[in-house]
Copies of this chain bind each other. A is one copy, B any other.
């Protein structure tokens, strides 16, 4: 049962020391929502931090706003640990100690599955919200905090990244209504934020993308496109894996491609990012290998196979997935 925005705002306004938890592999929505909430709480005189245990991705560095810490002993008496844009201990792996310090546990998220292992004192899960940033925005407003330029930037980053710049089908009237409000904040300029997020790709990353695209393999009459980011390719271009972000979207922009797969060969394992265009159920395909996600955006990890073995295992499943329109 969802708690109301108003009741969550009321609880949070009563607390002084709060830790916010974005999910592992933080993205613009997870970090932007956490930082927006953190800045609003501080504005209201509270102590708040965004607890992380991995580096902030370079293109999201402007969302840090002095809010993040990896010190799990920060604050002397943590009254609330709040998961944001996630739900479940595996989504905050490595930060269990900090999480457990919160006397209250809360969760705001827009992913449908609710973790069973946690007894939240309050939670709000809105699967129809395009971004956790929409929920964060409403809580900030309900707490009576001012939407400052920094908060506006964080909320815009959260919503624009999770909606694919207002293009994906998760976008709603409300996503646009909230964005419309942000433009009324003095100094707000979407282009500035957008350029920080999207237009700081290194020459090397751009070249890496070009090479992955040039090396695409097509199957099922062009319905399935498969790319590979190998360790070799990363080393040759002097790139790290996070610089491969965006390649899967590129693959999906090719006419006729119903399913896209990007293999990422890390030093520990092989990951596959999977995307469907219209009917291909990629969550189902990923689940064959213990992965999951949304129907049109899913992923799985191969821990006991090398890249070649992972390809041999996954590609036939994907060919079947894109070849069966009834596979919805």
Contact = CB atoms under 8 A, between A and B. Distances in A.
Interface of A: 160, 164-169, 171-177, 179-181, 183-184, 189-192, 194-195, 198-203, 206-207, 209-211, 213-214, 216, 218, 222, 250, 252-255, 277
A206 B253 contact: yes
A209 B184 CA distance: 37
A201 B214 CA distance: 14
Contact of A203 (B160, B207, B218): B218
By CB atoms of chain B within 10 A, which of A167, A194, A202, A254 has the most? Answer: A167
Contacts of A255: 199-203
Give the oligomeric copy count.
Answer: 2
The 4 A-B residue pairs whose C-beta atoms are closest, nearest first, are A176-B180, A169-B191, A167-B194, A165-B165
B206 A254 contact: yes
A190 B213 contact: no
A203 B164 CA distance: 22
A165 to B, nearest CB: 4
A278 to B, nearest CB: 8
A198 B166 contact: no
Contacts of A191: 167-169, 171
B203 A190 contact: no
B176 A253 contact: no
A277 B199 CA distance: 9
30 contacts: A160-B167, A165-B166, A165-B167, A167-B190, A167-B191, A167-B194, A168-B191, A168-B194, A169-B191, A173-B183, A174-B180, A175-B180, A176-B180, A177-B177, A177-B180, A180-B180, A195-B277, A198-B253, A199-B254, A199-B255, A199-B277, A200-B253, A200-B255, A203-B254, A206-B253, A206-B254, A207-B213, A209-B213, A210-B211, A210-B214
Nearest to A210: B210
Nearest to A167: B194
B207 A214 contact: yes
Contacts of A184: 173
A254 B59 CA distance: 12
Contact of A169 (B177, B189, B252): B189
B171 A176 contact: no
A113 B181 CA distance: 30
Contact of A176 (B167, B177, B254): B177
Contacts of A213: 206-207, 209-210
